[in-house]
Amino acid sequence: MARVHFRISYRPPPPAPGPVFLTGQHRGWSDDPTGWAFDDAGTLDAELPDGQLLMVKVRHVAPDGTVTEEGDAWGGRAPAHTAVVRGDTEVVLDVAGWQDGRQGRERPARSVPPTAEFTLPAPWGEQPVRVWAPAGATGPLPLLVLHDGHNVFDEAPSFAGETWDAGRAAQALADAGHPVRVAALPVGGERSCRYVPFPFELNDFHSGADDYCDWLLGTLRPALAARWGDTTPAQTALAGSSFGGLITLYAGLRDPGAWGTLGVLSPAIWPADFQLLRWMEPRTAPATRMWLDMGDHEGSTVQEAAEIVHLTHNLAARLRPRVQDVHVTIGEGHWHDEAAWRARLPEFLWWWVGVERQNG
Give Cα separations from 52 to 45, 80, 268, 298 (angstroms): 15, 15, 20, 11
d(Cα 266, Cα 119) in Å, to the nearest integer? 28
Encoded amino acid at 240, one letter: G
Q: What is the pLDDT of residue 359?
A: 58
Percent of the chain with pLDDT over 90: 91
If phi > 0 it is left, if psi is from -120 to 50 it is alpha, else beta; for residue 333 that is left
| Reported confidence tier of residue 69, pLDDT bands at 50, 70, 90 | very high
Inter-residue contact 188 to 225 (CB < 8 Å): no
C-beta neighbour count of 341 within 10 angstroms:
31
| Reported confidence tier of residue 355, pLDDT bands at 50, 70, 90 | confident
Average pLDDT, the chain: 95
Inter-residue contact 120 to 219 (CB < 8 Å): yes
Q: What is the pLDDT of residue 104?
A: 85
Q: What is the CATH number of domain 116-353?
A: 3.40.50.1820
Least reliable range by pLDDT among 123-127, 153-157, 241-245, 269-273: 153-157
Q: What is the mean pLDDT of residues 74-88?
A: 95
Residue (of 81, 101, 7) closest to 46 by Cα position: 7
d(Cα 247, Cα 108) in Å, to the nearest integer? 32
Rounded to 10 deg, the angle between the 338-353 and 166-175 helix axes is: 30
pTM: 0.94
Q: What is the pLDDT of residue 130?
A: 98
Inter-residue contact 248 to 348 (CB < 8 Å): no
d(Cα 36, Cα 42) in Å, to the nearest integer? 11
| Reported confidence tier of residue 358, pLDDT bands at 50, 70, 90 | low
Q: What is the mean pLDDT of residues 110-132?
A: 96
Q: Where are the domains of the chain?
A: 2-98, 116-353
| Reported confidence tier of residue 108, pLDDT bands at 50, 70, 90 | confident
For the stretch 302-353, pLDDT in tens is 999 999 999 999 999 999 999 999 999 999 999 999 999 999 999 999 999 9
| Residue 33: pLDDT over 70 | yes
d(Cα 194, Cα 203) in Å, to the nearest integer? 8
| Residue 109: pLDDT over 80 | yes
Domain 2-98, CATH number (from 2.60.40.1120, 3.60.15.10, 2.60.40.10, 3.40.630.30):
2.60.40.10
Secondary structure in 3-state letters for 158-193: CCCCCCCCHHHHHHHHHHCCCCCEEEECCCCCCHHH
Widest pairwise Cα distance in the chain: 62
For the stretch 141-185, pLDDT in tens is 999 999 999 999 988 888 888 999 999 999 999 999 999 999 999
d(Cα 157, Cα 114) in Å, to the nearest integer? 12
Q: What is the pLDDT of residue 39?
A: 96
Q: What is the pLDDT of residue 158?
A: 87
d(Cα 241, Cα 252) in Å, to the nearest integer? 14
Spatial CB neighbours of 17, under 8 Å, sequence gap ≥ 6: 62, 63
